[in-house]
Amino acid sequence: MSGKDKHTSRRDVLKTATGALAATGIVGMAEARPVDKVEVNVGFDDVRGKAAVERKADSVVREFNFDAMTVQLPKKAADALQRNPSIRYVEENGEMHALAQTTPWGIDRTDSEVAHANGETGSGADVAIIDTGIDSDHPDLQGNLGKGKSFVQCSTKGGCRFGAKPADNTCNTSWDDDNNHGTHCAGIAGGVDNTEGAVGVGPDVTLHAVKVLDKCGSGSFSDIAAGVQWVADQGYDVASMSLGGSSSSSALQDAVQYAAEKGVFQVAAAGNSGPCSDCVGYPAAYSEVMAVSSTASDDTLSDFSSTGPEVEIAAPGSDIYSSVASNGGYDTYSGTSMACPHVAGAAGQLMADGATASDARSTLTSSAEDIGLASNESGAGLLDVASALGLDSSDD
Amino acid sequence: MTLSGSLSATVADGTVEFRYEVTNDGDEPVELQFSNAQTHDVVVFEDGEEVWSFAAGRMFAQMLQSEAWAPGESSSYGATWADAPSGEYEARAWLAANDADAEAATSFSV
């Protein structure tokens, strides 16, 4: 049998099957809503069919050597493909009805999901992400977005580093994310608990975007200080700063003092200068700011994490899955930047329940879990959200 | 490592525009690791004393990044020193990557 014959005979068989499926819709997907993302195997007749699949797909999981692909896409796009004459079949891949929301390891390890199960979701807390902005129409964040303020221009044009481009996003607002970093941090602190993406530490907190870093992830002392001042003047509960530098800024130090006097809980990334000792960057090193180091999923200190006497707490920062601005998608990033918003979300949880900033700071340290790291590596230990909220945190 | 760097400084009305260009001269792709969003620095010296630095007045997103360069690929980075006082200066630029610096230097006067 020649390859062509074999191909034709398979196609005929599958065509018959497709007809049967078409009458009842895609098998197994009846429960999926039109916007839910599903994973399907799609067979096509020709290059036009293949192009149609590629156009509709959010991501391609596998390309077969024969005329079929496994792709992820919204259910409504899968339904549309099924009506395309160049498509031989659309079948659900495996048992999955819709791609469920992921619980990232950092959420699980800090027992944030235990808090959610007990109704602790941070509702009412105002958490400001002082960063590159937040994607204003991300499906996993939109429902939690509050106000935004920009101190640098949002621009997705041009490049900035090593052939890399800014985020594939639209500057719908001045504080939209043109980099991806701010959207990732926002998702960690307060990703919406829904049917897709990743859930955050405080899935009902209100996220405020404060854009002080440009599309390349860099910002001036003055712009960052202005962002901190704005957060303080809004009366927000939490300021999350996944940014830093090795030199101190008097203006930024004044700004964090101003915010502390106004009762803002401030947290910052210790820095990624590791392995190193006594190398915590600014603003994390200021006494008004809680400095966060980073751990990996095996409870070791992340090799990049800065350490020093200023470190007060550790949180997950290696290989963290969260939302990004590009195409409203998701990605896995590493850094003390990712550890910081875990603590911000937790502080939001406590302040939603009435804690002051200083209450939240002392509760987070007193409830942290000892994971055997030195105090200059993890401060009081690993963030434990359930324990901080007075819940049973015996879950790993 | 096969990266080479070149640095130019253009002075107009007391403002110095730096352009730092880095090229992969080799036949193999080069992958660089960065500890944070800082990709490069430009530092200005006067009589051996540091008088200005691009990175010293800035802060950076604390996320690891890695970027691959194809053979022959180059990138260009800018930095602006506003209100530079008159004088004779030397500028040096380098990559802030963990495993490469591609240092370059130039002299200029304001």
Domain boundaries, chain A: 3-92, 105-388
The reply to whether B77 touches chain A by the CB within 8 Å rule is yes
Q: What is the pLDDT of residue A23?
A: 37
B110 lies in a domain?
no
Instruction: Tell me what ipTM this predicted complex has.
Output: 0.88
Q: Which of A132, A163, A282 sits opposite B61 (nearest CB)?
A: A132
Reported confidence tier of residue B98, pLDDT bands at 50, 70, 90: confident
- Which residues face A385 on adjacent strands? none
- Residue A161 Cα, gap to closest chain B Cα (Å): 7
Give the pLDDT confidence of A306-359 residue by residue, as tens digits.
999 999 999 999 999 999 998 889 999 999 999 999 999 999 999 999 999 999
The reply to whether A251 touches chain B by the CB within 8 Å rule is no
Partners of B35 on chain A (C-beta within 8 Å) are 272-273, 304
- Residue A37 Cα, gap to closest chain B Cα (Å): 28
The mean-pLDDT minimum among A264-268, A277-281, B93-97 falls in B93-97
**Mean predicted confidence (pLDDT) in A182-207:** 96
Q: Do B67 and A335 touch (CB under 8 A)?
A: no
**Mean predicted confidence (pLDDT) in B8-30:** 93
Reported confidence tier of residue A196, pLDDT bands at 50, 70, 90: confident
pLDDT at A22 exceeding the cut of 50: no
**Mean predicted confidence (pLDDT) in A243-260:** 96
Minimum Cα–Cα distance from A160: chain B residue: B77
Question: Is residue A61 helix, strand or coil?
Answer: strand
Q: What is the pLDDT of residue A394?
A: 76
CA distances for A353 relative to A76, A147, A190, A341, angstroms? 40, 21, 16, 18
By percentage, how much of chain A surpasses pLDDT 70?
Answer: 87
Q: What is the pLDDT of residue A102?
A: 87
pLDDT at A32 exceeding the cut of 90: no
Partners of B37 on chain A (C-beta within 8 Å) are 179, 181, 213, 216-218
B80 lies in a domain?
yes
What is the extent of the structural domain holding B90?
A: 3-104
Fold of the domain built from segment(s) A3-92? Alpha-Beta Plaits (3.30.70)
Q: What is the pLDDT of residue A161?
A: 52
B12 lies in a domain?
yes
Q: Which CATH superfamily is domain A105-388 in?
A: Peptidase S8/S53 domain (3.40.50.200)
pLDDT at A16 exceeding the cut of 70: no
| Burial environment of residue A19 by CB neighbours within 10 A (0 to 12, 13 to 18, 19 or more) | exposed
Q: What is the pLDDT of residue A327?
A: 87
pLDDT at A4 exceeding the cut of 80: no
Q: Do A184 and B63 touch (CB under 8 A)?
A: yes
The reply to whether B60 touches chain A by the CB within 8 Å rule is yes
Look up residue B77 and give its two tokens. Answer: 């980075």
Reported confidence tier of residue A15, pLDDT bands at 50, 70, 90: very low
Reported confidence tier of residue A62, pLDDT bands at 50, 70, 90: confident
Cβ A176 vs Cβ A133: under 8 Å: yes
What per-residue string of b and e applies to A50-73 under the rule 16 or more CB within 10 Å gives b? bebbeebbeeeeeeeeebbbbbbb
A residues 331-390 closer than 8 Å to B (CB): 333-338, 340
pLDDT at A185 exceeding the cut of 80: yes
In CATH, what number is assigned to the domain containing residue B37?
2.60.40.2360
**Mean predicted confidence (pLDDT) in A162-185:** 86
Report the domain count for chain B: 1
Reported confidence tier of residue A8, pLDDT bands at 50, 70, 90: very low
Cβ B42 vs Cβ B53: under 8 Å: yes
Mean pLDDT computed over every residue of chain A: 89
The reply to whether A321 touches chain B by the CB within 8 Å rule is no
Angle at A71 between CA A65 and CA A72, to 5 degrees: 170
For CA atoms A27, A29, A34, A35, give the dihedral sign: negative
Q: Do A272 and B64 touch (CB under 8 A)?
A: yes
Partners of B73 on chain A (C-beta within 8 Å) are 163
The mean-pLDDT minimum among A5-19, A209-223, A323-337, A363-377 falls in A5-19
- Which residues face A207 on adjacent strands? A127, A145
**Mean predicted confidence (pLDDT) in A206-221:** 95
pLDDT at A2 exceeding the cut of 70: no
pLDDT at A368 exceeding the cut of 90: yes
Question: Is residue A313 helix, strand or coil?
Answer: strand
* A58 is an active site residue: no
